[in-house]
Structures are given as C-alpha cells and as structure tokens.
C-alpha cells in the first residue's frame, strides 16, 4: 500500500475536532426551539382560512373553549343535588386562568318581560327556592329554545352542558393553555370525587391542544428511545461490536444535532409532530453508515489491510452515498411545497440531517472506524440462510419471481383509488384516551363535537337590526337545522325572536321577528343592558353591530363530508341572501384542517411524482443507461403505490400525515435502489456477465440493504403503539413501504436485470 493511500485513510484528529465543534455549536440552537401545540401552528400566516378565523376571533368573543357534559345517574337534571352541582361547577369555572365566559343551564339568561322593561335572570340561580313543577317547566323551556337545545341541555333532558370560553395571550399561548388545562382538570376531578353518581365528561379545542401536547411528550419519552434501542439491538446482532454501533450512533446523533440546531437558530415554533423528523433522519443516516461499514468489513476479514479496505469501501460507496443524499434532500425539500408549516419544517430538518449525515459518514466515520479492531466473525462472502436462499431463487428463476411479484405489486396499487381523505380532529387520538372517549360520548349524548362558524356581514354599522337581514339569517338557521349532520345552531335572530315574544306577552300569533329596525335596536339595547357581567352579547354580534356570528355544531364526521357540507351551506347563503351577507366565509378549526388536508394531499402527491421523475433522469445520467433509469423509476415508485393500495383495501382513509409519507420514505427507497444499481453498473463495466454482476451485487450490497431494512422496519413499527393516530398511521405506512422496497429491489429489480442477456460491457481502463 502506498504511503499516500495510508495517509488519506488514517485518522486526522483535527478534522474530528472540527466536526465535534461544529456539532456542538449547532446543538446550541436546540435551546431556541419552541414547541407549540396550538392548532393554529399547522397553518401558514397567510393561509386564507386562518386569516378568516382570526378575523372572526377579533370581531367576536373568545373561540378557544372547553365543553363539559354532566349526566346524573337518575337522569333527572332538575333534582336539587344535580342543580347544586351545576351551580357550583359553573362558579368554579369562572375562576379558571384565562376564563372569559361560562354558559350553563343554571346561569342561562332567562328573558322575562316586566311591563315595558326586560328582566334577564339566571334560569336556575337559586334552585332551592323553586318547586319541582317550576324546575321542570324551566328545563322544558330550555329544551324547546332553538338557541340552547342540544348545547346546554340534550334533547332527551338527561344531560346538561357547560361551555367555557378562554382568551389566551398572543405571545405565549401554549404555557397559558397548559395552565388553564391543568386547572380545569383539577376542578373537574374535585367535583367528580364529590359527586360519584354523576358522569362528568370533557371536550373542546383547549382540551384537544393540551392532550396533543401531552401525547407528543409521552411519545418522545417512551417511543423514540425504544426505536433507538431496537436499532442498536439489530445493529449489534449484525456487527457484533458495541464500539462499531457506538460510532454509528455518534455519527447519527451529530447529524441530528446539527440539523435541529441549525433550524433552531431561526427560532421557529414547532408543533409536536415535527419531532417525527428525528425519526426520519435516523434511517437515512444509518443507511449511509451501514453501507460504508458493511463494505469495509468484507475486506479486512479476508486479509486485506484495514486502510486499504476503507479506501475500497469509500471508492465503492462515495458516489451512491452522495447521489442518495442529493436525491433524498430534494425529495424532502419537496415538502416545503406543502401548505402546512410543520410539514415544511420536517422537510427542511430532514434535508439538513441527510446532508450532515452524508458529510459525517464520508469524512468522520471512516477515521473513527479505523481506530477500532475488526469484529471477529466468519466471512460473508457466501451468504447463507434466508439471504442465501434469496440469491439462489433470484438467479435460478428471475422471470418467474419478478413477473409474479410485479403483478402482485400492480394489483395492490389499484387500491390507491379506494383511499379517502379524512382528518377528523377528535379521531387523531386513541379511543382509550379520556379526551377521545369523552368526546365520543358527548357527541352521542349532548351535542356535536365538530364546529363550523360564519361571520355574516350586514349592511354597515347597526346593520344586524335590519329586519331583512334578520329574516334571511333566520331562514339560513332554519335550513341548517334541517340538515342531518347538524346538532345545534346558535344565531342572534333567535335572541331577537325570544325578546319579541316576551315583550308581547308571549303571544304565539305575533310575527317571529319585529319588522321595524328601530324597534329591534330598542329590544336589543334593553337586552344588552340587562345582561349580567361576563355574559355580554359579543359572542353573537360584533361591537358596532355590523356583523353577527352563526355557530353550528355538527355530529362527528369525516373531513371530506364536513367540507362538502360547509360548501353547500355557504352556497345556500350566497344564493338566498343579499350580496352583503353572501360575503360570509365559513371558518373554524375543523374547516381549516379539512381544507388543509385536501390541499396538502394534492400538493404532496404532485411534488413527489415530480421528484421521482427528476431522480430517474439523474439516474440515467449517472448510470448512462435509459434502461436502468426506467427500472429505478419503477423500483422507487412501486413501494409507495403498493403500500397506499394495500392501505386503501384495509383502511381506506388517509390524512395530512399520510399525504407526506411518500416524500418522507422516498429517501430510504431511493437509497436501496441507487446502491444496488450503481454497484451492478460498476460490475458490468468491469466485464462481468449480468448473472455474475447480480450475484456480486447481492452479496456485497444486498447484505447492507437487508440490515438497514431489518433495523428500520421494527423501529418504525413501534410508532403503532402511540396514542396519537397520526403517529400510528405514520409507523404502519413507513414500515410497510420500507419492507416493500426491500422486496421489490431484491426480488423484482435484480431479476429484471437478468431478463435481457447481452455481452458484458467493456472494462474501462484503470
């Protein structure tokens, strides 16, 4: 071995020192990262749906809420014990941090005329002073009122609802939400202990955000360490050296720290699921290391000097690693085309992680490995066991096995069309979680847990008092209540109707709404002045009375059905109402996620296809073969297509997370095919026949590909025990695509290379 070759492969501690210093500096950026569980963080600042929702929040009262449902064992809401529970709970909820408004059965504003005055009194302010008949009469009145039915009391009169509205500071809403959520849970636990014969359930946007943060924290503490432990176990079983495994993990860790730290210097606010980016860098960084180490270990074991063996390993793997890193980075950067910032950041983090992994695996890993002794293991030049049987089958029956599996893969891909978009916020969580179980129970017993809202503009200030405006608003509300999905509608025209009826002696023959604008304004002024503190009407109308709010609760439904319903309702309003009202836009978290999923799925599928074509063109240029480029395109496309097809047959639902899986798994899929094809092409260029080139590729690269697959599939499968549905789906689909990629590369791609027998390519000089 020449002195130059020895120097180039020997350790250079100044280079290792620079790498360690770089990783340390970048790691300091981790302290800048903020984790936000606010659902608004899933949307870009200029997202039209988010802007519409923010306008609604600024125009009306708070929109973050918690809904508590109370059901006594005896099903009697008018009992003194139950009314006292509701009264005490209502008072306690007012004291929660950032609580702005509490609406319940006991404090509901009961409108009663007293001559020409309007008296607004709590419906059950002092239940002990009311006889049984009065209590039943008032409960029945509440059940029959459109504005409160299926919100403060169920239609069967067995369940009561309490809604708490919160207003959180704009600077640090997550800390405030955690504080309010913890105080809310403590309050409910206290009342549950005092009233064990009552079921007290909890749902709402505040609870959803807090539960999301807790679930993500639990996964980070429980699942991700287990993933790393499982990978370590598989690597140790293959390499038989803790030192080698430690070096590989050091390179992977440095890549992760550098990527996260680099992004952290920009101080973005991440949603909890961005933590999945760390799990995505893991397989790609490990794959680079495994290919280099596996190739290196095949040489010293047969007597070659270690520096020379490392030089040979780098010569064989440098181009595939660089090419894989480039194509993977491009694939993940395609995620920046998503409409959702968390997905954009996942793409940036993983692209950076892949870049750092490439740098560290080529520049740092070899120098660390050369300081370690070679593990004592028998040679793997002749593979045995399952891999040996696979090689025998591939070489003996290439047409049969490739044709059979190709037909099965294409057949599985036909199930792609069976998938439907579905991102129901409540269904993000496991049914075993209290939040999910309570939400499903409330949806069945009290009211719908999905919500849509419209800010309906009037014709200028005080325009909501226009009789024509209110008549159209009442007609829209009546249409909404006729729809099967709708559980409850809240609209200001109901309040005006109640005022008009009471001030006219409750005569049913009176018109539902006054037909004079000045009279309506007078009614509403009396009502507004009579309301107790904290129950102002800003949850229904804005300050200058130029717009009103229409709130709709729907029974839990999938995102596509919700989107179609919202579009149908908006079209009905635009068709029947004046032009000023027709400008109303639907908003709300459920609507925002439904439209985001729809947009994101189209964006991601299109960008992934473009990236696949670009990778294939690059492969044609590198391999100098249109045939190999076409085979690489098929080998990279088929795993995702078959996986989504099988998913369509078995599950049939995809959400915002699964819409990005193709882009996220593209790196490891491309990694396998690039290493196999570049090694095959190199063997053909040396003059080997196709059969010998395939055999050499399987024995040298097939082992590394198999080891990568064996370590990553069970690691990602661990995500399926998460309490968060998005992580469960991510784990299943990622593990499935990686496993299918291994099958397709070894049992379809390799046999296809043997279909056309030709003369060996001429060996290149040198």
Query: Which pLDDT score is estimated for 510?
Result: 55
Q: Do 2 and 58 sit in the same domain of this protein?
A: no
Mean per-residue pLDDT of the chain: 83
Q: Does the residue 616 lie in any domain?
A: yes
Q: Report the half-sphere exposure of 566 (CA within 13 A, side-chain side).
A: 30
Q: Are 164 and 68 in contact (CB under 8 A)?
A: yes
Q: Are 456 and 584 in contact (CB under 8 A)?
A: yes
Question: What tokens appear for 725 in the block?
Answer: 């549905």
Query: Which pLDDT score is estimated for 145?
Result: 76
Query: Which pLDDT score is estimated for 69?
Result: 95
- List the strands of the sheet with 450-457, edge to edge: 486-490, 547-554, 450-457, 585-587
Answer with the residue of higher pLDDT: 765 or 63.
Answer: 63
Q: Which residues lie below 8 Å from residue 174, measured CB to CB, with a gap of 6+?
A: 34, 35, 36, 37, 38, 209, 213
Phi (first) and psi of residue 452, to 5 degrees: -130, 150
Boundary residue ending a domain (587, 612, 644): 587
Among 107-121, 207-221, 348-362, 507-521, where is mean pLDDT lowest?
107-121
Angle between helices 205-239 and 276-297 (to 10 degrees): 10
Query: Which pLDDT score is estimated for 3?
Result: 43
Among 119-133, 263-277, 350-364, 676-690, where is mean pLDDT lowest?
263-277
Mean pLDDT value across residues 575-603: 84
Among 119-128, 203-212, 271-280, 732-741, where is mean pLDDT lowest?
271-280
Q: Which residues lie below 8 Å from residue 613, measured CB to CB, with a gap of 6+?
A: 633
Q: Do 124 and 95 sit in the same domain of this protein?
A: yes
Distance CA 403, CA 374 (A): 41
Mean pLDDT value across residues 236-248: 87
Query: Which pLDDT score is estimated for 131?
Result: 87
Using a pLDDT cut of 70, give the percent of the chain over it: 88
- Which parts of 487-588 fold into alpha helices (H)? 492-503, 517-530, 559-576, 579-582
Residue holding tokens 């959180």? 168
Query: Which pLDDT score is estimated for 642?
Result: 95
Query: Which pLDDT score is estimated for 215?
Result: 83
Query: Which pLDDT score is estimated for 2?
Result: 44
Q: Which residues lie below 8 Å from residue 40, measured CB to CB, with a gap of 6+?
A: 50, 53
Sign, CA torsion 563/569/575/577? negative
Q: What's the pTM value of the predicted model, to 2 decimals?
A: 0.79
pLDDT(565) > 90: yes
Mean pLDDT value across residues 513-532: 85
Q: Does the residue 221 lie in any domain?
A: no
For residue 621, the tally of other CB atoms under 10 A from its CB is: 10
For the stretch 478-496, pLDDT in tens is 999 999 999 999 999 988 8
pLDDT(748) > 60: yes
Query: Which pLDDT score is estimated for 8?
Result: 43
Using only the alpha carbons of the chain, give its radius of gyration: 32
Q: Do 155 and 245 sit in the same domain of this protein?
A: no
Q: Closest Cα partner for 421 from 312, 316, 562?
A: 562
Q: Are 613 and 633 in contact (CB under 8 A)?
A: yes
Burial 389-425 (b: 16+ CB within 10 A, else e): ebbeebbeebeebbeebbeebeebbebbeebebbbbb
Using a pLDDT cut of 90, give the percent of the chain over it: 25
Query: Which pLDDT score is estimated for 301?
Result: 55
Q: Do 337 and 389 sit in the same domain of this protein?
A: no
Band (pLDDT 50/70/90 cuts) for residue 158 is very high
Question: What tokens appear for 565 in the block?
Answer: 């319903």
Q: Do 75 and 192 sit in the same domain of this protein?
A: yes
> Number of structural domains, the chain?
3
Query: Which pLDDT score is estimated for 300?
Result: 60
Q: Are 661 and 730 in contact (CB under 8 A)?
A: yes
Q: Do 577 and 671 sit in the same domain of this protein?
A: no
Phi (first) and psi of residue 135, to 5 degrees: -65, -40
Domain, as residue range, for 10? 1-32+240-381
Distance CA 547, CA 332 (A): 44
Q: Do 487 and 350 sit in the same domain of this protein?
A: no
Q: Does the residue 499 lie in any domain?
A: yes
Quick one: which H or E segment has residue 61?
none
Q: Do 334 and 481 sit in the same domain of this protein?
A: no
Q: Look at the chain and count its residues.
A: 766
Band (pLDDT 50/70/90 cuts) for residue 64 is confident
Query: Which pLDDT score is estimated for 506?
Result: 59
pLDDT(152) > 50: yes
Distance CA 519, CA 11 (A): 90
Question: What tokens appear for 44 in the block?
Answer: 């870009």
Q: Are 724 and 219 in contact (CB under 8 A)?
A: yes
Query: Which pLDDT score is estimated for 5?
Result: 42
Q: Do 477 and 563 sit in the same domain of this protein?
A: yes
Distance CA 474, CA 515 (A): 13
Query: Which pLDDT score is estimated for 119?
Result: 72
Query: Which pLDDT score is estimated for 377?
Result: 54
Among 29-43, 47-61, 522-536, where is mean pLDDT lowest?
29-43
Q: Do 67 and 173 sit in the same domain of this protein?
A: yes
Specify the CATH number for the domain of residue 277. Answer: 1.20.1640.10
Answer with the residue of higher pLDDT: 271 or 318.
Answer: 318
Query: Which pLDDT score is estimated for 534?
Result: 73
Each as own residue / partner, the long-range contacts of residues 527-535 (CB below 8 Å, 24 or more positions apart, any chain) are 527/111, 527/118, 527/120, 527/495, 527/499, 530/118, 530/119, 530/120, 531/109, 531/120, 532/107, 532/109, 532/120, 532/122, 534/94, 534/100, 534/101, 534/102, 535/101, 535/103, 535/107, 535/109
Angle between helices 725-744 and 661-685 (to 10 degrees): 20
Q: Does the residue 200 lie in any domain?
A: yes
Q: Do 336 and 480 sit in the same domain of this protein?
A: no
Q: Which residues lie below 8 Å from residue 12, measured CB to CB, with a gap of 6+?
A: 367
Distance CA 462, CA 541 (A): 10
Q: Does the residue 423 lie in any domain?
A: no
Answer with the residue of higher pLDDT: 107 or 534.
Answer: 107
Band (pLDDT 50/70/90 cuts) for residue 757 is very low
Boundary residue ending a domain (587, 604, 636): 587
Boundary residue ending a domain (545, 572, 587): 587
Q: Do 532 and 550 sit in the same domain of this protein?
A: yes
pLDDT(580) > 70: yes
pLDDT(508) > 60: no
Band (pLDDT 50/70/90 cuts) for residue 558 is confident
Q: Does the residue 53 lie in any domain?
A: yes
């Amino acid at each position: 071995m020449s002195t130059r070759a020895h120097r180039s492969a020997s350790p250079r501690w100044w280079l290792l020192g620079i790498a360690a210093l770089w990783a340390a500096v970048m790691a300091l950026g981790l302290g800048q990262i903020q984790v936000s569980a606010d659902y608004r963080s899933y949307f870009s600042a200029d997202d039209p749906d988010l802007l519409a929702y923010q306008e609604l929040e600024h125009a009306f009262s708070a929109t973050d809420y918690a809904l508590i449902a109370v059901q006594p064992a005896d099903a009697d809401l008018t009992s003194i014990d139950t009314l006292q529970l509701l009264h005490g709970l209502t008072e306690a909820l007012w004291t929660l941090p950032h609580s702005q408004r509490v609406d319940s059965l006991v404090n509901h504003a009961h409108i009663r005329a007293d001559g020409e005055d309007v008296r607004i009194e709590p419906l059950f302010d002092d239940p002990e002073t009311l006889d049984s008949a009065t209590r039943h009469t008032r409960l029945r009145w509440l059940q029959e009122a459109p504005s409160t039915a299926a919100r403060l009391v169920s239609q069967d009169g067995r369940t009561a609802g309490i809604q708490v509205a919160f207003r959180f500071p704009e600077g640090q809403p997550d800390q405030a939400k955690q504080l309010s959520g913890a105080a809310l849970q403590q309050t409910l636990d206290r009342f549950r202990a005092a009233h064990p014969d009552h079921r007290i359930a909890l749902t709402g946007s505040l609870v959803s955000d807090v539960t999301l943060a807790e679930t993500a924290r639990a996964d980070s503490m429980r699942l991700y360490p287990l993933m790393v432990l499982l990978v370590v176990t598989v690597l140790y079983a293959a390499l038989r050296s803790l030192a080698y495994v430690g070096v590989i993990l050091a390179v992977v860790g440095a890549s992760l720290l550098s990527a996260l730290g680099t992004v952290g210097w920009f101080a973005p606010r991440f949603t909890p699921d961005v933590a999945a980016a760390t799990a995505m860098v893991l397989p790609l960084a490990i794959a680079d290391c495994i290919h280099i180490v596996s190739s290196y270990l095949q040489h010293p074991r047969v007597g070659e000097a270690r520096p020379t063996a490392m030089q040979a390993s780098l010569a064989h793997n440098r181009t595939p690693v660089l090419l894989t890193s480039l194509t993977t980075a491009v694939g993940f950067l395609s995620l920046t085309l998503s409409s959702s910032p968390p997905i954009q950041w996942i793409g940036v983090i993983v692209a950076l992680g892949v870049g750092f992994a490439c740098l560290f695996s080529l520049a740092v890993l070899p120098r660390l490995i050369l300081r370690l002794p070679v593990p004592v293991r028998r040679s793997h030049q002749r593979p045995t066991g399952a891999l040996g049987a696979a090689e025998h089958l591939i070489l003996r029956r290439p047409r049969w096995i490739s044709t059979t599996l190709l037909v099965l893969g294409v057949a599985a891909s036909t199930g792609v069309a069976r998938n439907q978009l579905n991102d129901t916020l409540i269904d993000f969580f496991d049914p075993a979680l209290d939040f999910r179980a309570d939400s499903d129970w409330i949806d069945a017993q009290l009211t719908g847990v999905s919500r849509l809202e419209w800010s309906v503009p009037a014709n200028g200030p005080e325009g909501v008092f226009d009789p024509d405006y209110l008549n159209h608003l009442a007609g829209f509300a009546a249409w909404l209540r006729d729809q099967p999905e709708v559980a409850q509608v809240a609209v200001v025209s109901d309040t005006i109707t109640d005022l008009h009826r009471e001030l006219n002696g409750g005569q049913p023959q009176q018109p539902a709404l006054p037909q004079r604008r000045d009279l309506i304004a007078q009614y509403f002024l009396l009502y507004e002045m009579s309301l107790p503190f904290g129950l102002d009407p800003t949850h229904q109308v804005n300050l200058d009375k130029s717009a009103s709010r229409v709130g709709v609760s729907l029974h839990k439904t999938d995102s596509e059905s919700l989107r179609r319903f919202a579009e149908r309702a908006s079209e009905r309003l635009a068709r029947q109402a004046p032009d000023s009202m027709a400008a109303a836009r639907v908003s709300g978290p459920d609507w925002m996620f439904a439209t985001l999923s729809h947009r994101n799925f189209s964006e991601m599928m299109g960008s992934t296809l473009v990236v696949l074509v670009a990778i294939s063109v690059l492969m044609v240029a590198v391999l100098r073969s249109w045939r190999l480029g076409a085979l690489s395109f098929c080998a990279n496309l088929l795993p995702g297509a078959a996986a989504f097809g099988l998913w369509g047959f078995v599950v049939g639902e995809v959400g915002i997370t699964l819409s990005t899986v193709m882009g996220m798994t593209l790196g490891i899929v491309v990694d396998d095919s690039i290493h196999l094809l570049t090694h095959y092409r190199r063997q053909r260029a040396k003059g080997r026949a196709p059969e010998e080139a395939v055999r050499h590729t399987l024995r040298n690269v097939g082992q590394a590909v198999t080891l990568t697959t064996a370590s990553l599939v069970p690691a990602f499968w661990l995500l399926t025990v998460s309490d968060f549905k998005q992580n469960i789906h991510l784990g299943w689909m990622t593990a499935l695509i990686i496993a299918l990629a291994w099958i397709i590369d070894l049992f379809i791609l390799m046999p296809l290379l043997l279909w056309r027998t030709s003369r060996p390519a001429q060996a290149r000089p040198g």
